Chains A and B, each alone.
Chain A
Amino acid sequence: GQSLEQPSEVTAVEGAIVQINCTYQTSGFYGLSWYQQHDGGAPTFLSYNALDGLEETGRFSSFLSRSDSYGYLLLQELQMKDSASYFCAVSPGNTGGFKTIFGAGTRLFVKA
């Protein structure tokens, strides 16, 4: 089977750095993605890691360790608008039937 685990909630202060972790178990693996979802909105793509290491996109970075089945999303210079839910998602590839599975999400609260 396939499963992902991420913390349910994280709280941080505006201007700070926050890390949201994700561990996964899948029968196959293509890559790990991260999505942001504001209340009432649709999930939007943030980043994708297929190889080990850090991918940086502006204030957001994502890290993957395939050997540890672990990844994280790093948000720097937090802004109030970053308050949202963040989902990690695994693309298992053909051995996993190509089903992209999402975690339960981490609710990020950014305080002033």
Chain B
Amino acid sequence: EAGVAQSPRYKIIEKRQSVAFWCNPISGHATLYWYQQILGQGPKLLIQFQNNGVVDDSQLPKDRFSAERLKGVDSTLKIQPAKLEDSAVYLCASSQTASGNTIYFGEGSWLTVV
């Protein structure tokens, strides 16, 4: 069974530029998550989708971050404009149900903002 796919793996951009990350969850998983993980910290939930609807986006900085999951399958997370403090790993994850008891993570997209 294929895992959660993410791209790009690494990205370096200058502050105020934009970046987009793509994620394809495990086939059949209804719930998709985007987490931000700063070095040395735990994953912080940015947004959670159930199919193509948003379950929670309370910690998404909506002035600069946006995410969509239009067809209820793959998803894109965009940052525009980027700030230095956005340097982090962006982890996409999926689970079969919204209960979140078993979450499968992708390898992450490493973002450095300079």
Contacts and interface: CB of A to CB of B under 8 A. Distances in A.
A44 B43 CA distance: 12
Interface residues of A, number: 24
Question: Interface range on chain B: under 10, 10 to 19, 20 to 34, or 35 or more?
Answer: 20 to 34
Secondary structure call for the A interface: loop
A48 B102 contact: yes
Contacts of B34: none
Contacts of B48: 98-100
Contacts of B41: 104-105
Interface in B90-107: 91, 98-107
Interface string A49-74: 01000000000000000000000000
B92 to A, nearest CB: 10
Given A87-B43, A105-B41, A105-B42, A100 B100 contact: yes
Contacts, number: 67
Contacts of A98: 48, 50, 55-56, 98-100
A98 B35 CA distance: 14
B42 A91 contact: no
Contacts of B44: 102
B99 A30 contact: yes
Interface of B: 33, 35, 41-45, 48, 50, 55-56, 58, 91, 98-108
Interface of A: 30-31, 33, 35, 41-45, 48, 50, 87, 89, 91, 93, 97-105
